[in-house]
Amino acid sequence: MKVYGIMGWSASGKTTLIERLIPLFVARGLRVSTVKHVHHEVDLDSPGKDSWRHRNAGAEEVILASRQRLALMREHRGAEPPLTEVLARLAPVDLVLVEGYKRDTHPKVELWRAAVGQPPLQPGDPTVRAFATDGAAPPGITVPVLDLNDPGTIAAFIARDLGLD
């Protein structure tokens, strides 16, 4: 599995870009999965529901299975799992797009918008392979600058970088 990250500050457009990249990679015949890192509590079920009751009773993992999909919930009663552990749980695919995990070692595209009001992360991060922005790049960017509003070009860059073209 090839892994590529989309990272940037909150409101930089990470989710929107990934949503636009997925069909472009699928159209190339690639099987794609995603991993999204979140900094807040996530709960897929409600107190009192059967799956909640299973977890509350101490189950390590609970799977919700239906005709349409399968959802696995795993309790972490310790440290947050590293990306490598999360990736190991995925079924094999051609490409995994990772949103977040900006401090991990996989290659990434940094998204940056001046309107967000945060400095770029790239100059100090060797894992950033390209910088995508909706305007002029700030000084000091040392990687290719891509148009954030052109997902086709970004997809082509990622495919080339991973040898998927």
Domain ranges of the chain: 2-42+80-162
| pLDDT, greater one: 13 or 39 | 13
**Residue range 124-138, pLDDT digits in tens:** 789 999 999 999 999
Statement: residue 45 has pLDDT above 80: no
32-50 average pLDDT score = 80
Cβ neighbours for 116, distance < 8 A, ≥ 6 positions apart: 9, 10, 11, 12
| pLDDT, greater one: 95 or 40 | 95
Tell me which CATH homologous superfamily contains domain 2-42+80-162: P-loop containing nucleotide triphosphate hydrolases (3.40.50.300)
- % of the chain with per-residue pLDDT over 70: 96
**Confidence category of residue 26, pLDDT binned at 50, 70, 90:** very high
Strands 95-99 and 145-147: unpaired
Statement: residue 116 has pLDDT above 90: yes
Give residue for tokens 């457009």.
13
Q: Is 133 exposed, middle or buried (0-12, 13-18, 19+ CB in 10 A)?
A: buried
| pLDDT, greater one: 123 or 54 | 54
**Residue range 56-89, pLDDT digits in tens:** 888 888 888 889 988 888 887 788 889 999 999 9
| pLDDT value for 40 | 54
| pLDDT value for 49 | 86
Statement: residue 8 has pLDDT above 90: yes
Closest by alpha carbon to 19, among 71, 87, 83, 97?
97
Q: Which tokens belong to 92?
A: 């094999």
* 43-47, 120-124, 158-162: least confident range: 43-47
